[in-house]
Amino acid sequence: MGAGARVLIVGGGIGGLSAAVALRRAKIEVAVFERAGAIREIEAGVSLHATAQAALAAMGMNDALRRISGPPVQRFQLRSWKGRVLATVPHNAVTLHRRDLVLALANDLMADGVVHLGSQCTSFEHDEQGVTVRFADGREERGAVLVGADGIHSVVRTSSVGMTPLRYSGFASWRAMPTFDHPAVPENRSQVFLGRGARFGIFPSSVGRVYWFASRLAAAGESEERGARCRVATWFRGWSEPVQELIAATEEADVVGNDVYDRPPIKRWGTGRVTLLGDAAHAALPTLGQGAAQAIEDAAVLAHYLTHTPLADAGAVETALRAYEARRIPPTTAVINEAWRISRSYMWTNPLRCWARDTRLRLTPTRVWAARAAQREAPELLPDETATR
């Protein structure tokens, strides 16, 4: 069967939709297969730093991004649970509602019939000529390239390069995004408060909404228990303002809880005409707030390498996909490793260790923070023509 020149994307989350938008901008035909019956996302925010913003701009999403995000946040503060400032890091990020982001990405794709809902991929095969993807309802689709953007439990990864075990972080996170106005939440500053075995983040977003997360040491499964808002309020009692006020401004039904896992990094994302993108390739702990951002950057870089690649030519496709992977594996591996390392110390419970951690954070010069942020958040990480398009 002929494969045509279509790129098949399994998964319609932030990663898969970004890849579809970026590839279409490069004039490549795509089809997205999402197992859910609708494009949806959880009631929570997502923070995107400068590189992810540049990647979205390169995909033609700049106006949409400005419309749905809050004003740029220029400072990120780490504080003790009592409110003492431990570090102020120069920053360039926007926070937006996850649902607004996926809907903005899906808008034209849905109108043009590119997204196929209710399409659960169960297996695939690939050969010199192309890829055949099979779905739970018995359908088959043929294309030139398969991109597995099907998240942390990726079926595409399991059948291509193999799955590594999930790693439980030891903590769970609860998130919400209420409307909130408070002098301790200026619109240009994000804040994360560190305690013993717990952390609370506050991110101003658009139209008066504030995204918060509460992370706490927990046994796996604890995040699913009912009454999350009351429990979070109890755990964080006595923390600096406006933590309690923000929890009180949140409806119980709007709190989303998750056990938090990652997967150790892998050295190979694909073979032949198949590759991976987003959490399917590099699920990291959310401590650096980088997972969705990295998926968006993957999408921009993948489109860069597939542009001008003759998709009928197996050798050319293989070269392009392996070049994409070589470019993306090092930075995403660094994010997984750093997020894991930092998460450990942010969840310490021993008072002496916590005091030593906070003192070290307080004594770290601003220029060191700025250099670390620049390493991860620089638009130069994208291929030249992508970053400046």
Ligand X SMILES: Cc1cc2nc3c(=O)[nH]c(=O)nc-3n(C[C@H](O)[C@H](O)[C@H](O)COP(=O)(O)OP(=O)(O)OC[C@H]3O[C@@H](n4cnc5c(N)ncnc54)[C@H](O)[C@@H]3O)c2cc1C
Report helix, strand or coil for 177.
Answer: coil
Distances from the Cα of 212 to the Cα of 101, 209, 240, angstroms: 17, 10, 14
Q: How far is the CB of 123 from ligand X (least distance, A)?
A: 10
Pairing mode, strands 30-33 and 7-10: parallel
The least CB distance from residue 292 to ligand X, in Å, is 3
Q: With respect to ligand X, which residue has the nearer C-beta, 180 or 211? A: 211
3-state helix, strand, coil in the chain (%, to 5): 40, 25, 35
Nearer residue to ligand X within complex by CB, 173 or 314: 173
Nearer to ligand X, 102 or 321 (CB): 102
Kindly state the smallest distance separating residue 221's Cβ from ligand X, in Å. 15
6, amino acid identity = R
Least distance in Å: CB of 205 to ligand X? 11
Q: Measured at the alpha carbon of residue 281, what is the angle toward residues 267 and 341, in degrees to the nearest 5? A: 75
Total residue count of the chain as it appears in this document = 389
For 101, other C-beta atoms within 10 Å of its C-beta total 25
CB of 259 to ligand X, least distance (A): 9
Residue whose CB is less far from ligand X, 155 or 247: 155
CB distance 91 to 32 below 8 Å: no
* Comparison of 233 and 256: residue with beta carbon closer to ligand X: 256
Q: Cβ closer to ligand X: 197 or 312?
A: 197
Task: Kindly tell me which of 92 and 120 has the beta carbon lying closer to ligand X.
Answer: 120
Contact 121, 135 (CB under 8 A): yes
Q: CA-CA distance, 156 to 179, in Å (whole number)?
A: 39
Can you tell me which residue has the tokens 């993807």?
A: 133
Please report how close the Cβ of residue 210 comes to ligand X at its closest, in angstroms: 13
Report CA-CA distances (Å) from 5 to 54, 131, 272, 299. Answer: 27, 11, 15, 18
Which phi and psi angles does 150 have, rounded to 5°?
-100, 30
Minimum separation from the CB atom of position 201 to ligand X (A): 8
Specify the residue, 58 or 296, whose C-beta has the smaller distance to ligand X: 296
List residues binding ligand X (CB under 6 A).
10-16, 33-36, 46-47, 119-121, 149-151, 155, 173, 175, 213, 258, 260, 278-280, 286, 289-293, 295
Please name which of 16, 22, 18, 23 lies closest in space to residue 6, comparing C-alpha atoms.
Answer: 23
Joined tokens for residue 52: 């992810």
Could you tell me the smallest distance in angstroms from the CB atom of residue 45 to ligand X? 7
In angstroms, what is the minimal distance from the CB of 149 to ligand X?
5
Nearer to ligand X, 12 or 314 (CB): 12
Starting from the edge strand earliest in sequence, which strands make up the sheet with 45-49, in order? 45-49, 85-97, 73-80, 189-194, 198-204, 210-217, 167-176, 256-262
d(CA 111, CA 109): 6
